A and B are shown apart, each in its own frame.
Chain A
């Protein structure tokens, strides 16, 4: 396949970015999207030109590093798929593809398609943990957790922290990301102890990191490569109300 790529190029947070056009002359339908970009970069490097910077790591859809808005949709819009798991068979010969970074005030651009997602770390640092005494490994089943709670917590814990929820949100809100951690810990006995403090601290950290406010667009769930449900945002709101009343 032969493709035409419109790629966002930007030298740093203060540079004014622009779309530049590249040819991908020999794309295999079996390649992943990132492999296709690797080929483009190899050709650029051979010509001595500046390669396109983008984040990636595991390339098997579990690390949350890849982060590209493809044709206007975070991760390309295929259901429950990260960019690295998006394959070129989804495109047709002659297609023009727009490749842009996550855009949000909270995600300053490092270079081209790579953004600084420290804001998400700050939210986790504010409360995305449980405080406990360290020591020997706890005995299995010493702390009974019901099947329903365990499943619910696992569904929430699927979040890989890529930031697609922020990138797809019209308000650049990180509420889905925040709620996944709040909800996961709120249903587990280890997390219940600090539930009130956690929801307050994490939502406050999101605000301080310049993420927007959630206005229930539900775009985040559609964009999430792990299918994190907005029911967790409802859960966060419930936890917030409980903490407020207490």
Chain B
């Protein structure tokens, strides 16, 4: 009750679910960059994940739970925080916070929309049915072919690049927030975690956009 209703309790929930999601995007990026090693590498990686069987579903449920809880409390807290300031001053000059921190709910909702599109694109396979070519006899598809063909047009590439811009914003504020919220920061460490936060956000941004951009530029091809 305390945890799900109090101000600090919900902040802790946001931090813990948030760090799970950051951990996921980091691991996801590591796995995805195997596409640069070659078709065999990323297909072997996909095969490995596929072979985990029911564990994949346990993992997916945990991620889904973290995702839904993070979004639910994020929206709820934002509504409360807006209500706490019914009328702003005519002049408002911020001294410390930034665009990323002030637009967390917007970048968050854009990422939600992106994740839905991304799942339709590569997991549920709705948007581009022509990019799936069966491989082997266990219902697998050629992941390398799927990704390369999925990024031949400029539009999906643009969507991914823009969405990763929002991921950059979200993580740059969110990661350091985790340490502050769990009481793991002090006056000495906070500036450091804030810089690490931005660094991780930049690495995620460059890492993720490199895949669609290098494909559409023709540097990674079938």
Contacts and interface: CB of A to CB of B under 8 A. Distances in A.
Interchain residue pairs A-B with the least CB separation, the first 10: A238-B183, A212-B84, A72-B93, A72-B91, A171-B81, A217-B97, A222-B95, A172-B84, A237-B183, A222-B96
A200 B7 contact: no
Given A8-B90, A173-B81, 7 more contacts: A100-B89, A106-B84, A173-B84, A206-B7, A216-B177, A217-B101, A244-B9
B92 A72 contact: yes
Nearest to B177: A216
Interface residues of B, number: 43
A54 interface: no
A32 interface: no
A240 interface: yes
Interface in B66-94: 77, 80-81, 83-94
Given A100-B89, A234-B183, A234-B186, A218 B84 contact: no
A206 B9 CA distance: 13
Interface in B9-43: 9-12
B2 interface: yes
A216 B81 contact: no
B89 A103 contact: yes
Contact of A207 (B6, B90, B184): B6
Interface in A188-244: 199-200, 203-204, 206-207, 210-219, 221-223, 229-231, 233-241, 244
B11 A213 contact: yes
Interface of A: 6, 8, 19, 69, 71-73, 77, 98, 100, 103-106, 168, 170-173, 175, 199-200, 203-204, 206-207, 210-219, 221-223, 229-231, 233-241, 244
A212 B95 CA distance: 19
A40 B3 CA distance: 51
A170 B91 contact: no
Nearest to A212: B84
Interface in B142-200: 173, 176-177, 179-187, 190
Nearest to A175: B7
A15 B221 CA distance: 67
